[in-house]
Homo-oligomer: A and B are copies of this chain.
Amino acid sequence: MSLTVVGSIAFDAVKSPFGEREKMLGGAAVHFSLAASFFTDVRVVGPVGDDFGDDEYGVLHGRGVNTDDIEHVEGGETFFWKAHYEFDMNTAHTEDTRLGVFGEFEPKLSDASRSSDVLFLANIQPDVQRGVREQCPDVRIAGLDSMNLWIDTARDSLVQTIGGVDLLFLNDAELRMLTGEANLVKASRAVMEMGPSTVVAKQGEYGAALFTADGFFALPAYPLETVVDPTGAGDSFAGGFLGYLASRSEASDEELRRAMTYGSTLASFNVEEFGTERVSRLAREEIDERYSEFERMTALAGLPA
């Protein structure tokens, strides 16, 4: 089984109450790839500039991620994002965004990337996402992430793009904004009417909720005492989720719940250190150990005798 992700590859500068990094590997497609790599073969598609070198490729190759479809733009600069977090670690305060080569990104997927079982469209302009989706007509599962900017400025295109995927990942506020429904149950149903069979509401420190036509599942976030850097948590979640699903033959309710748990597990490791530092040296045994902790954490005894 294999998975292709299309999205941003970036350098991030991040400051949090626990320290700072001036220039580290980041970007949605990177966080997603590393998380998914524990479960399936991953191909990452995105543009980089001249400043992207062996160290950065090394992190991806270290986790076996296929980088053949990374597009190196000569003379260009890699997407750069600078932000800080304060007492409330749920909100990133952006200080600087330099799109660089990402501004002109027109994804052209190789045959190998087009023929993956699973496709993830990380947060990019929805026309671009739809173009990628159309290049991969045969994928078994297509997932998509987006953001408030596109809901605001390109809603029609986004709705059309959502119509072509199976799984939508958005945070609570974005789901409400997209659908105009304050109630999440109603909001997720409105999304299903657009096309997707499954909606995942990302809820930050509260975990995540899963909505399907006839099911509901919610999982708390892993209770960490210290969150060092929340950047990439949502993409690590989606990577664990879809990476696991790519490795299974069906997306049953039971498997979707396991996918939620692997997603939450990867997100929880991601935020323990800056950028990709924790996930890039993570071991599969640590993942399964934390999965089992989630099982114990959420176990509910039946009705009392």
Contacts and interface: CB of A to CB of B under 8 A. Distances in A.
A297 B225 contact: no
Contacts of A205: 184
B298 A300 contact: yes
Interface residues of A, number: 42
A288 B87 CA distance: 41
Interface stretch (A45-53, A213-221, A230-238): A213-221
A228 to B, nearest CB: 11
Q: Which of A207, A248, A255, A288 has the most CB of B within 10 A?
A: A207
Interface string A184-227: 11100000000000000001011101000000111110011111
This chain's copy number in the assembly: 2
A301 B258 CA distance: 7
A299 B258 CA distance: 10
Given A216-B223, A218-B220, A257 B185 contact: no
B227 A220 contact: no
B182 A219 contact: no
A302 interface: yes
B225 A186 contact: yes
B303 A288 contact: yes
Interface string A264-305: 000000000000000000000000100110110111111110
14 contacts: A88-B182, A89-B182, A183-B227, A185-B223, A185-B225, A207-B220, A209-B220, A218-B298, A255-B304, A257-B300, A258-B300, A258-B301, A261-B300, A294-B300
